[in-house]
Amino acid sequence: MFTLRHVAALAIVTLHSAAARAAAQSPDSLATLRVGVTHDSLPVEGALVRSGRVGASTDASGSATLRLVAGAHVVVTARLGFRPDTTRLVLRAGQDTLVTVRLADQSAEVEALVVTATRAERRVEDTPLRVEVIDEEEVAEKVSMTPGDIAMMLNETSGLRVQSTNPALGGANVRVQGLRGRYTLLLADGLPLYGGQSGGLGLLQIPPVDLQRVEVIKGTASALYGSAALGGVIDLVSRRPDSTRTVLVNGTSRGGTDAVFFGGARATGWGYTLLAGAHGQRQNDLDGDGWTDMPGYERAVVRPRLYLDGAHRSAFLTAGVTMEDRRGGTMDGRVVPAGTPYVEALRTRRADVGGLARWVLPDSGALRGAIVTVRGSAMEQRHGHRFGDVREHDRHRTAFGEAALAVPRGRATWVVGAAFQRDAYHAADVAGFDYAYDVPAAFAQADVDPAPWLSLSTSARVDAHSAYGTFVSPRVSLLARRPAADAALAGWTTRLSGGTGAFAPTPFTEETEAVGLTPLVPLRGLVAERARSASLDVGGPIVTPLGRLELDATAFGSRVSHALQTRELAVATVGDPRPIALVNAPASTHTWGGELLARLVRELGAPERSLRVTATYAYLRATECDPDVVSVAGCLRRREVPLTPRHAAGLVASVEQEAKSRVGVELYYTGRQSLDDDPFRTRSRPYAVVGLLAERAFETRAGVARVFVNLENLGDVRQTRVDPLLRPTRGRGGRWTTDVWSLLEGRTVNAGVRLAF
């Protein structure tokens, strides 16, 4: 049987032979390549221009000269703070060739992420591992819709689903292609500043105003990021410093308010940015049953960033503080069906610090031109929970460090490195759940272009977990390009990727987030969750009479062994509710499906006016062992994974006149979902949501003011119009609410102004 090990072995052999052939080449004749590097029409000094073993840095005029063997070359231009550029060209002997490279802004630390693209100094388009990007234009659009958090921005991305985990307090996580949200690694500028996992309230505490883009890797990425990335990676890339300052003020028809400042400055050798935000939401009971449908909160966020740039070296430092108080559960003076009030509340205090340093070694010695990257972060988060009469206080600390060496040689780039992670948790009021995990790791990666139309990447990582043993996580990716010279399907690509990974159990799952740790028995006898995933992606552009059309189709599948499940104990202890336990499932969880994407960009008659239409469709099947029907013999019945819609689609259209106005309409459809422990139904209803956005820019004495109005959920779709959110009796773990399978906030209008000066 052809397994992943065979694919890995074949790819490694191919890499070795290709690198050997590249190293064995000898020059017959030479050509001169002169490269001019600019950004915003200004020269860029200190950029590294390299083709194989030959490299040079640009001078004050932004110029670099290379003497190269005549023939085909791949020239990479990189400078900290800009997106690396890859240029393919053919040089003729005895001739000078002049090339101008225009670098685009990119967050400093992204170049050092353990993503294949950044390690190999490649553009996202040239990476064998598919990296999807929510670009700056899409981010700006979502800022006008929800300037206080990134939940909507991620939820409206194909293949991602933001799932509510605690309706009373608004907790949520991100599921990637149907996998549980705890498997999704959340990064900020390549650092786990929010603790890593996407669960809890992290998504709802991150304002997108300072984001330049969001990068998403779908599927098991443990070979790149360690065991925390079993399901995928979401990296939030911040904006680089410039002279523009932004103030945003927003209000909603549901009593929400946002006030955000983002600004900075850039000078020779250094720059800084500052994000500061204050956000609030009024507690709402929309269906009048006495239970909160929209929790109330008050939140403050501050995050400065410092950038240092020099010849062949750079550094980045950041720190952040978040303070928030949330309240949900019963409204004042109201009670649950048991006849008593049940208030849920959460107090959050979080602080983090992180940084990155990067430098290029001299062009001499065995490691000539190699790139050294060191990065690290630390985070402390304190919570004060209230579940009715129960109080739970905790402290969560994480630390991360990594050092990597990237060595470009010919058509190959080799990367080796070491990392260390620490995850420590202390529960002050509930015994038996404290832990401290130390995970040293080593990783290696090889990227090679055996031919102009083919790229391969292999990577492997070994994590030595202090509690759950050693994990070995390999990954292999392949990219085949259709040559641009071909008339048919020019620029199309095919990507094939597969990998394995593991995830260390903790007490925090979607179920325990809703009820706390009090009803949970201490973890006993658990083993690590392990996964295998693979994907095939085909896509490219087509020029049509209507404009440029981009098409993409993806097929994916994964299998998770020993997945954690929640099981209610058969025998109740003293008190109510009955205790619950986390157990390893006796059978694997299977997930498979496909995604389709079509994006049309059409230039309209007016200057700088364009139409952009994006259509997406996702089909998803996910099955698991039914935790309520098991025996010592194993799994007796499989079921669909709850809250996993089989069909989902989206259609977004917008007309924009650059720097002046934008009008957009959105339509999203979500199909039926299997429900668990719901007293009202076993399957949800399908629903569709329509939204409208209008934005207009005005020149003022203070600067450019963009006024926006967003009408979300015009049809007023709301789960509580169909079934109550409040249960008649307490459910598993003592929860008073059903799972959330639709929207809770109903029709919402928000309006505001964004002033740039």
Q: How confident is the model at residue 23 (pLDDT cuts 50, 70, 90)?
A: very low
Confidence band for 486, pLDDT divided at 50, 70 and 90? low
Query: Does the pLDDT at position 18 exceed 50?
Result: no
Tokens of 245: 């300052």
The answer to which of 108-112, 200-204, 269-273, 354-358 has the lowest mean pLDDT is 108-112
Residue 347: the pLDDT is 96
Q: How confident is the model at residue 88 (pLDDT cuts 50, 70, 90)?
A: confident
- 113 contacts 120 by C-beta, under 8 angstroms: no
The separation between CA 713 and the C-alpha centre of its own chain, rounded to angstroms, equals 25
The whole-number average pLDDT for the span 54-69 is: 83
pLDDT band at 9 (very low <50, low <70, confident <90, very high): very low
What average pLDDT does the structure give for the chain? 87
**Range 237-756: architecture per CATH:** Beta Barrel (2.40)
pLDDT at 747: 96
**Could you tell me what percent of the chain has a pLDDT over 70?**
89
In this model, does residue 66 exceed pLDDT 90?
A: no
The pLDDT score that the predictor gives to residue 80 is 63
Q: Would you place residue 196 in the very low, low, confident or very high pLDDT band (cuts 50, 70, 90)?
A: low
Find the mean pLDDT for residues 6-21: 37
The terminus-to-terminus CA distance of the chain in angstroms comes to 63
Q: What is the spatial distance between Cα 159 and Cα 534, in angstroms, rounded to a whole number?
A: 15
Rg (CA), the chain: 26
Q: Name the 3-class secondary structure at 362.
A: coil
pLDDT at residue 224 in the model: 85
Question: Which residue from 228, 19, 195 is spatially nearest to 114, judged by alpha carbons?
Answer: 228
pLDDT at residue 14 tops 90 = no
> Cα separation of 223 and 445, whole Å?
9
Does the pLDDT at position 369 exceed 90? Answer: no
Residue 103 has pLDDT above 90, yes or no: no
CATH code 2.40.170.20 region(s) in the chain: 237-756
Q: Which of 117-126, 343-352, 600-609 has the highest mean pLDDT?
A: 343-352
State the pLDDT confidence band at 316, using cuts at 50, 70 and 90. very high
- For domain 4-104, give the fold: Immunoglobulin-like (2.60.40)
628: CB partners within 8 A, 6+ apart: 567
How many angstroms separate the CA atoms of 64 and 59, rounded?
7
Average pLDDT of span 231-257: 93
Q: Which residue has the tokens 């025996």?
A: 631
Nearest Cα neighbor of 43 from 65, 58, 32 is 58
Q: What is the identity of the amino acid at 517? A: L
Give the model's pLDDT for residue 484.
Answer: 60
CA distance 214 to 222: 19
Res 493: pLDDT:
92
- pLDDT confidence bin for 11, thresholds 50/70/90: very low
Measure the CA–CA gap between 78 and 750, rounded to whole angstroms: 41
Identify the residue with better confidence: 290 or 365: 290
Outline which parts of the chain fall under CATH 2.60.40.1120. 4-104
DSSP string, 612-632: EEEEEEEEEEEEEE-TTSEET
Q: Is the pLDDT of residue 26 over 50?
A: no
Burial zone of 509 (CB within 10 Å; 0-12 exposed, 13-18 middle, 19+ buried): buried
- Judged against a pLDDT cut of 50, whether residue 229 lies above it is answered with yes
Q: Is the peptide bond before 577 cis (omega within 30 degrees of 0)?
A: yes
In 10 A of CB 696, how many CB atoms?
Answer: 14
Confidence of residue 729 (pLDDT cuts 50, 70, 90): very high
Instruction: Look at residues 48, 55, 114, 45 and name the one whose alpha carbon lies nearest to residue 78.
Output: 48
Instruction: Give the torsion sign (CA, 58, 59, 62, 63).
Output: negative
Judging by beta carbons within 10 Å of its beta carbon (0-12, 13-18, 19+), is residue 541 exposed, middle or buried? middle
The Cα-based distances of 25 to 179, 410, 446, 609 in angstroms read 46, 9, 20, 50
Is residue 226 very low, low, confident or very high in pLDDT (cuts 50, 70, 90)? confident
